[in-house]
Amino acid sequence: MTHFPTFASLTERTSEGKETHSISTVNMADVIESKIKNYRTAPFDSRFPNTNQTRNCFQNYLDFHRCNKALSAKDQDTTPCDWYQRVYKSICPSVWVNNWDEGIEEGSFAGRV
Partner 1 sequence: MAHPSQLGFQDAASPVMEELLHFHDHALMIVFLISTLVLYIIVAMVTTKLTNMFLLDSQEIEIIWTILPAIILILIALPSLRILYLMDEINNPHLTVKAIGHQWYWSYEYTDYQEIAFDSYMVPTQDLAPGQFRLLEVDHRMVVPTEAPVRVLVTAEDVLHSWAVPSLGVKMDAVPGRLNQTAFIASRPGVFYGQCSEICGAKHSFMPIVVEAVPLKYFQDWSTLMLEDA
Binding interface with partner 1 (CB under 8 A): 1-5, 39-44, 49, 51-54, 56-57, 86, 89-95
- From the list 82, 87, 85, 90, the residue with the least C-alpha distance to 17 is 82
Comparing CB distances to partner 1, the nearer of 24 and 94 is: 94
Q: Which is nearer to partner 1, 49 or 107 (CB)?
A: 49
CB of 26 to partner 1, least distance (A): 27
45 in Cβ contact with 92 (< 8 Å): no
* Dist. CA 30–CA 14, nearest whole Å: 9
- C-beta closer to partner 1: residue 67 or 92: 92
State how far the alpha carbon of 74 is from the alpha carbons of 12, 24, 65, in Å.
23, 16, 14
Please measure the distance between the N-terminal and C-terminal CA atoms of the chain and give it in whole angstroms.
42
Work out how close the CB of 33 gets to partner 1 at its nearest, in angstroms, rounded to a whole number: 17
- Min dist CB 70 to partner 1, Å, is 25
CB of 42 to partner 1, least distance (A): 6
